[in-house]
Amino acid sequence: MTAESPVAVRCHAASGWFDGDGVVVERENPSRPAEVVARWSAATPAQVGQAIEAAAEAHAGWRSTPIGGRCAVLRAAGRLLEARADAYARELSREEGKIVGEARGEVLRAAAILEYYAGEASRPRGEVFAGGRVEQSLFVVDQPVGIVAVVTPWNFPIAIPAWKIAPALAFGNSVVWKPAPASSLLAMRLLECLLEAGLPAGAVTLLLGDAEVGEAILAAPAIDAVSFTGSTGVGRSIVRAAAERGLAVQAELGGKNALIVGDDADLDAAVLALVSGAFSGNGEKCTATSRVLVDARVADDFLALARLAIEALRHGDATDADTDVGPLVSASARDRVRDALGRSDGVVVAAAALPDGEGWFVAPTLVELAQPTGELWDEELFGPVVAMHRVASFDEALAVANASPYGLAAAVYTRDLARTRQAIEQLDVGMLSINEPTTGGYPYVPFGGWKGSAVGPREQGAAARQFYTRSKTVHLSA
């Protein structure tokens, strides 16, 4: 296989593309770590301050652009993403480790998100109420928040930025964006499409770097709100920093999502949900299935089917079209997941074969636990490892699933309507799937969790308006 030259990735501000004056970073291919995919230099705090000042000066021009013009940019950028889906998918696989078919699906999902928010131009806005007098009118208008800091993770390097940036722009905000260091190349690609589609420089400012850059962005006086997706620890520190400044904050954090398999479940379908939910995206999804609660009366049959499905998974290079599961994002991520497996007292009941090579691979693994406790059960690992526990009843399954500080997603497999209604009423999660995997979503419905999985308003769909606008009540007398 011929090595490809590293791509030079740059920051962008109102003045155009620029290189950071900070540390130089090389991003390695998770499938073949000896291969450098991208190279960039981090912005310094001084550069961050200058870029945000320039964004503040440019903001009025973007805010005053009619909504039809703003949404036309999103629509045109979405079409560019569609046209470049194959090329961007390969870059995504090489940069982040997601298998190429899923990577292409993510690029197309980002395009669909841009298209959805392009429709904001034709949706009704505001409310009108009767006044207390004949000559009085009362109405409520939504106006932009201002300049929004957007901090995005590496595991969905183009879709998650799209579902934050698209509504922000559609509603007239400007964005200062810090992507995760492991996904700088795809960040640049998304911004290139937006700029080519007609987005004025300064409407989205792209700043590359690590925690130092994020801290400088949060401290900038011009920032009005913060939207974050990432780990619970980092997210909580961002929430605290935003609260100290009185900034609006939206944070999507971790998940420890349960799949419940009732004794009446379609076991073939439930196993497919396990494999899809736990191992797609290499298990590096906040919505990934990481806990399985199976009724003891069908557990042996479920395990037999699961073992066949997991052992059949093809594990290897993310850019190979025949690969089912790719490498993890980094050597440290691989080591963290492997170490957790080594510390567990559970029994490995199924595992795929590890591929040859130096990639950052962890075998897709199912571990059975005698008790629903411990690191594999309680902590978000972000890898292709799932823990299973047998339960005596559906009621027990619901109770054990709820005994977690997280509340992002859950899936229930049952043919019983009463159990379905019970799950809808009792499971403490923001997103529930009945006879579908925990993973998946659509641009037009809200995304987000309960409990320790989220802070602030939901993302996507009409719910995004709640965060990216602020309402103004107007009393008008002629």
Of 478, 471, 476, nearest to 145 (Cα)?
471
Q: Specify the length of the chain in residues.
A: 478
Cβ neighbours of residue 341 closer than 8 Å, sequence gap 6 or more: 348, 362, 365, 367, 376, 385
Cα gap 478→475, rounded to integer Å: 10
Cα distance between residue 20 and residue 11, in whole Å: 7
Q: Check if the beta carbon of residue 212 is closer than 8 Å to that of residue 45.
A: yes
Please, where are the H alpha helices in 125-205? Answer: 159-170, 184-196
The tokens for 301 are 């049959």
Question: Which phi and psi (to 5°) does residue 186 adopt?
Answer: -70, -30
- What residues are annotated to the active site? 252, 286
Would you tell me the crossing angle of helices 67-83 and 184-196 to the nearest 10 degrees?
130
Taking Cα atoms as reference points, which of 438, 465, 93, 103 lies closest to residue 276? 438
Q: Find out whether 318 and 99 touch, Cβ atoms under 8 Å.
A: yes
423 vs 347: CA distance, rounded Å? 29
Measure the CA–CA gap between 202 and 196, rounded to whole angstroms. Answer: 14
Q: How far apart (Å, rounded) are the C-alpha atoms in residues 3 and 416?
A: 54
Judge whether 315 and 353 are in contact, CB under 8 Å.
Answer: yes
